[in-house]
Structure 1
Amino acid sequence: MKKHLVKVVLSSVVVAVSFSSCKNSSSSSKNVSRATGWKINAKDGGFQYNSDFKEQETPPGTVFIEGGTFTKGQVQDDIMHDWNNTPTSQHVQSFYMDETEVTNKMYMEYLDYLKKVYPPENPMYANIYKGALPDTLVWRNRLGFNETMTNNYLRHPGYAEYPVVGVNWIQATQYAEWRTDRVNEYKLAQEGFIEEDALYGVLNGEVDGTFSTEAYLNNPESVYGGQIDSLQGKQKKDSINSFAKRSSGIISPEYRLPTETEWEYAAQALIGTREYNNYRGRKKYPWEGDYTRNGQRVGRGDQLANFKQGKGDYGGIAGWSDDGADITGQVKSYKPNDFGLYDMAGNVSEWVADVYRPIVDDEISDFNYYRGNIYTKKAIGEDGKVQIIRDSVVFDTLPNGKVVAVNLPGEIKEVPVDEQETYLRTNFSSSDNRGYRDGDPGSSRFYQRFSDDEEDNRKMYDSPKHKVERDSTGKILRQYDTSNYRTSLINDEVRVYKGGSWRDRAFWLDPAQRRYLPQYMATDDIGFRCAMSRVGSKSKSKNKTVRHKKSK
């Protein structure tokens, strides 16, 4: 009996020691190269890498959208008879998306930052803040009294959690770029790479210059006006690497506008109708059912979105409002879809990243489809380093006369890719791919290869090109395009917007519907939300179905 007990005890000790050694071996193997056997993250130097990285954190304000396959395009009756979104099978990679539209409060934080860091009273900065301001005059109507919204909608606290409007496509993309830098700047401060005082020191004028994610990654000594050495945090003392890199796993991918395919996939939220590896039919709206009213016991009869129900009916009868809003409504006023996204139908339509084309090529990409790629690279100076825009601001005058900042001080200068990147490639051959396989001269029925006649070589998509110039006194001179050769309202500066708004009938609530507007124009019923690509695994779920049984 005693011998048996001794054997059991010894066996337990052996198992415990074995488990401990396996655990230590597993832990240490992460810091030993499987390629060379050298140590990784050694205190003496060598190769440094984040071996403890698990998965990308969900960015602030977003929800996770697990990618998958779906039918993109219009699958309901086409009462317009245009079929400009023909059904195609698409696969979307996983990504993150704002749970609500960007609100006035969120956009005001952006404006506040610009005003403090780039004071408008400084002539060099005057157009930075002005160029980011939403166009509040979009509320005006020749035969309607809307001056209350013109003066109050953006700034009054009563509209703080309402979606921002009057923002054109260019302003929306610039907001996303600014948000990327602020989120990464904050994460670096949390991880000890930057002193937290630096963040607010920039706003208070105590720190010169600003933080740019790409500038930090490519030339970290350039951020904060070259003061980064004095603004580094505890990591400078505790780590071999004073600066974070992409391999550190701390820097997030950029915020951006979602592609049209991503937006439509997220709006449909077909995951709510999934059974194993199939979808149970199609969805007409972001919610289940063929009607806009709630059919459940709780809230039965309530509208499920903010939209125009009929001529002169934007919200229903006083005292019993159908949708609780006459113009835009406060975000999260209605139930989210199965992905957890609010207002993917109604409230405001939303800008997406794509350039608009009415016809989609039969041989389009069926993986992350997107039209609008312009490939650039970082400009390299004579010293071999990336060029940082320091004491100047690059502006662009839009066709409507609005001036916007293209590059801010502290950002990296980008230039189009050239033959050095495109030579003998099969996947792309030029920097600008907005008109690829659609809208190029060869696509036009007027095209004649060997003719120099302008009339013979009209493009398929060549909307009017208005010019805005300034005279010697700075006065704006607007020149309207009166050419008789223009054949379309579409060109490479026309962008897609999706989803119905408070001004639209129920027809436009279908996620497959698509419309377009020049990227420099804004309205009182178009807003936007941001997205971010998922890096790493497709799914967050750790429980995967066993695909095969182990043999005995």
Structure 2
Amino acid sequence: MKRISIVFTTGLLVLGLFGTACKSKSGGASTKTGWKYNDKYNGGFQVAKKVKPGAGPGLIAIEGGTFVMGGSLDQDLSYEFDNVRRRVSVASFYMDETEVSNVDWLEYLYDLRQKFPNDRELYYNALPDTLVWRRPLSYNEPYVDNYLRHPAYQDYPVVGVTWEQAVAYCEWRTDHVNEGILRERGILADFKTKTGKGKGQAAGASTASAEPFNTDIYLNGQIRGEGVDGKRMIKDLSPNAQASGAGAKKGGAPTRPARLEDGILTPPYRLPSEAEWEYAALALAGNTEYENINDGKIYPWNGLGVRSAKQSTRGLIMANFKRGQGDNMGTGGYLNDKADITAPVKSYIPNDFGLYNMAGNVNEWVRDTYRKLSFEDFEDFNPFRGNQYVNKRLADRNTGVYAKDKYGKPIKDAAPSRKKQSWKELNGAVDSAKNTAIAGKPFDPDMRGFRDTVNAKLYGTSTLVNDQSKVYKGGSWNDRAYWLNPATRRFMQQDESSAEVGFRCAMNMVGTAEINPKGKPQFRQPPSKAAKSLSKK
């Protein structure tokens, strides 16, 4: 087995996210028009230095590729036939090194309470259901009170979290990380200024906006102003730009907020797709040489069994699962998997991508909506079932300002089309709040029903599957070894939770798919003739 986890860590990427992505070199010119970039005298079109940003906090880079989805399942004990083998390709992406832990969730709860101290409903809805530990014939009551909050369990995976709560956490994490990046770089007011502790401010008097940060709202230019703008904002080279705030008073140069084009902000955190999760769990790249897979896998580690073959750990169980009825951890005096319920998120040996507990400990939510026959209708690149397209609602069509809810987030409506609308269609939409018609014609924005004959009215009568049925994978501390196989799949309603289900986040990777080109053959690009002729001018 070839360990490749070092290759896929963030340290070897071209430039970390906290590097100098926003610094644009003066000079450089368009190869198509000849006009210089970043020149305030010719219109001020700004082009940031080209970088490949590193992973966001907590993430590990996963180089994508082709694999046989469902291929590691050598027997279908439950006769479900719901993951029949098919070859697919997964784009390179990032994935959390570990499951989201209790302390991670407590940070989330704390931030909600700080930002919305009077909104008890929001806080209550974010609380995990600790009652999932209760069993009619088991004494699990201590876990109800202690598992989430006691410091002894702070690095254990959070459980009792619904799919909906996991999605909400991903959205919060995106905004929390991006706000931290902008404040640390001085593009937004730093943390001292935000809390009213900056120079020349009265104690406790915050000059920054009390409205919570949201990435989409910020990128739309709706978060700026006195006390909000940082001291190191990006120079605006547009001839129409004017200095504002403190900069205008001091005669400073015009500045602007960060844009997506600057490469500063992270892409959104999200749940991984089922294909991404299965690909990352198998980590077949560790058994690959020159595009040949030398050995397949049944589990995230090599071999046919669940015990370690190394001399120093020989015989130890490789994951946290239930070996048999009444055997959750082995014999007292020599515990085998060292865990009675869940185990800390950095337990056992990571797989060849460097990911911990991709088998056992807790099952993990993925993004996909469950269908038994998903393998029949699928794209072979980034397969995913669950697309429901949405648009951000405009509060003012003339200015492009987004409508916001009471939490400062953009209000999203079901999209009337999968393609860009014409200006006439955009401004002729009927019932934009409900999005039930466009230009007087009804539409269905939900692509989850594509070629799908399941009727939602039959749920609970002849089927337990509907559009709220979400996939979870990986096996748990209370599951048998069969469920540790990455190809197995089960489902639960998106508003339900369990003591055996947690999650981890993923993120899209931007730029080139290859993570570590060192030592691999590459095409060398000759100098551009167009660039040469342009430089002579």
* TM-score where L is the length of structure 2: 0.80
1:109 aligns with 2:107: yes
Matching residue of 2:77: 79
Instruction: Give runs of aligned pairs for residues 271-310 of structure 1, distance below 5 A.
Output: 271-310=285-324
1:212 aligns with 2:208: no
How many Å apart are 1:548 and its aligned residue?
A: 7.1
Count of aligned pairs between the two proteins:
457
| Structure 1 contact 361–438 (Cα < 8 Å) conserved | no
30 and 205 in structure 1: CA distance in 2 versus 1, 3 angstrom threshold: same
| Structure 1 contact 389–412 (Cα < 8 Å) conserved | yes
Taking the aligned partners of 1:180 and 1:61, their CA distance within structure 2 comes to: 12
| Structure 1 contact 268–283 (Cα < 8 Å) conserved | yes
How many Å apart are 1:418 and its aligned residue?
A: 1.2
Taking the aligned partners of 1:518 and 1:496, their CA distance within structure 2 comes to: 9
How many Å apart are 1:256 and its aligned residue?
A: 0.2
How many Å apart are 1:542 and its aligned residue?
A: 3.4
How many Å apart are 1:412 and its aligned residue?
A: 1.0
Matching residue of 1:69: 66
1:527 aligns with 2:527: no
Q: Which runs of 5+ in 1 are unaligned?
A: 1-26, 394-408, 441-458, 465-485
Report the aligned-residue RMSD: 2.6
Matching residue of 1:462: 458
Taking the aligned partners of 2:357 and 2:481, their CA distance within structure 1 comes to: 14
SS in structure 1 of the partner of residue 464 of structure 2:
coil
Deviations 1:424-462 (A, max 9, x none): 9xxxx852111212235xxxxxxxxxxxxxxxxxx2883
Matching residue of 2:533: none
SS in structure 1 of the partner of residue 492 of structure 2:
strand
Specify the code of the residue in structure 2 equivalent to 1:533.
N
Matching residue of 2:395: 381
1:343 aligns with 2:357: yes
Deviations 1:86-123 (A, max 9, x none): 0110100000000000000001000000011111xx3x
SS in structure 1 of the partner of residue 227 of structure 2:
helix
| Structure 2 contact 37–46 (Cα < 8 Å) conserved | yes
| Structure 1 contact 461–487 (Cα < 8 Å) conserved | no
SS in structure 2 of the partner of residue 381 of structure 1:
strand
1:144 aligns with 2:138: yes
How many Å apart are 1:45 and its aligned residue?
A: 6.7
Q: Which of 255, 265, 277 is the aligned partner of 2:279?
A: 265
Specify the code of the residue in structure 2 equivalent to 1:142.
P
Matching residue of 2:148: 154
Deviations 1:368-422 (A, max 9, x none): 00000011111123453445455x54xxxxxxxxxxxxxxx21111111115947
Matching residue of 1:368: 382
SS in structure 2 of the partner of residue 128 of structure 1:
helix
373 and 103 in structure 1: CA distance in 2 versus 1, 3 angstrom threshold: same
386 and 166 in structure 1: CA distance in 2 versus 1, 3 angstrom threshold: farther
| Structure 1 contact 285–509 (Cα < 8 Å) conserved | yes
Q: Which of 196, 211, 227 is the aligned partner of 1:230?
A: 227
Taking the aligned partners of 1:47 and 1:542, their CA distance within structure 2 comes to: 35
Deviations 1:476-511 (A, max 9, x none): xxxxxxxxxx32000000000000100000000000
Q: Which of 493, 502, 505 is the aligned partner of 1:518?
A: 493
Q: Which of 172, 185, 190 is the aligned partner of 1:191?
A: 185
Q: Identity over aligned residues, as a percent?
A: 42
- Which of the two has greater helix per residue? 1
Matching residue of 2:257: 243
Q: Which of 41, 56, 59 is the aligned partner of 2:53?
A: 56
- Structure label with greater radius of gyration: 1
How many Å apart are 1:202 and its aligned residue?
A: 9.5
Deviations 1:190-233 (A, max 9, x none): 33211222686399893411110000011x2x33xxx6432211
Deviations 1:127-168 (A, max 9, x none): 111100000100011111111110010011000000000000
Specify the code of the residue in structure 2 equivalent to 1:261.
A
Matching residue of 1:13: none
How many Å apart are 1:333 and its aligned residue?
A: 1.4
Q: Which of 411, 414, 419 is the aligned partner of 2:412?
A: 414
Taking the aligned partners of 2:160 and 2:205, their CA distance within structure 1 comes to: 30
SS in structure 1 of the partner of residue 67 of structure 2:
strand
| Structure 1 contact 136–166 (Cα < 8 Å) conserved | yes
Q: Which of 90, 93, 99 is the aligned partner of 1:92?
A: 90
| Structure 1 contact 378–414 (Cα < 8 Å) conserved | yes
| Structure 1 contact 202–210 (Cα < 8 Å) conserved | no
How many Å apart are 1:67 and its aligned residue?
A: 0.4
Matching residue of 1:329: 343
Matching residue of 1:126: 120
Q: Is the deviation greater in 278-287 or in 539-548? A: 539-548
199 and 488 in structure 1: CA distance in 2 versus 1, 3 angstrom threshold: farther
237 and 253 in structure 1: CA distance in 2 versus 1, 3 angstrom threshold: closer
Specify the code of the residue in structure 2 equivalent to 1:438.
D
Taking the aligned partners of 1:330 and 1:217, their CA distance within structure 2 comes to: 37
Q: Which runs of 5+ in 2 are unaligned?
A: 1-23, 198-203, 238-254, 423-442, 527-537
Deviations 1:262-320 (A, max 9, x none): 00000000011112111123200000001100011121111110000111111011110
How many Å apart are 1:237 and its aligned residue?
A: 7.5
